[in-house]
Amino acid sequence: MGKRTLKSIGGVASVIGAGITWYGYSGFAKSQSMISALNAGDALFGGSSSKSIDIWSGHADNYKIVLIIGAVILVVGIILLVSGFVSGSKGQEVHPVVTSNDSDKYDLTERLKKLDELKNSGLISQEEYDEKRKQLISLL
C-alpha cells in the first residue's frame, strides 16, 4: 500500500472512529444520568423504578461496546495515518535526484562497480542486477 493510500484510509478511519467514540461516550453518559435520576427519584418518592433502571443499564452496556469499537477504529486509523507519513511500502523504490556534474558521474560509476561485485559474489541475482543497473544507467 502506498503512502497516499495509507494517509487517506488512516484519515478517514480516524474521523469515523472519533465520531463513533463520541457517540458511544455521549450515549453512555446519558444512560448513566438516567440511572442516577431514577435512583434519586426512588429515594425521594419511595417508588420502584427497577425495570426502567434495568433498561437504561442495558443501554449503558450497549454504549460501552460502541465506545470501545469507536476507540479501536480511531487507534487503527491513527496508526495507518502515522505509517503513511513515516514510511512508504517496501516495494516502492526511491529514485535519487542526480545532477550532471563530474562527481555524480564518478559516484554512479562506483555504484555500477559495486553492483557488479555484488552480482559476481552471488549476493544478488541476475534479475536484480539487471534491474538495478538499468536504473543507474538511466540516471546518467
pLDDT by position in tens, the chain (length 140): 678 888 889 899 999 999 999 999 999 999 999 999 999 999 898 888 899 999 999 999 999 999 999 999 999 999 988 888 886 445 555 555 545 555 555 577 888 888 888 889 888 889 888 988 888 888 76
CA nearest to 119, candidates 136, 139, 106: 136
> Is the distance from CB of 44 to CB of 110 less than 8 angstroms?
no
Q: Which residues contact 60 (CB under 8 A, 6 or more apart)?
A: 28, 31, 32, 35
Separation of alpha carbons 135 and 130, rounded Å: 9
Task: Specify the pTM.
Answer: 0.58
Q: Is 94 helix (H, G, I), strand (E, B) or coil?
A: coil
DSSP code at position 82: H
| Residue 11 CA neighbour count, 13 Å, CB half | 8
> Is the distance from CB of 77 to CB of 14 less than 8 angstroms?
yes
DSSP code at position 112: H
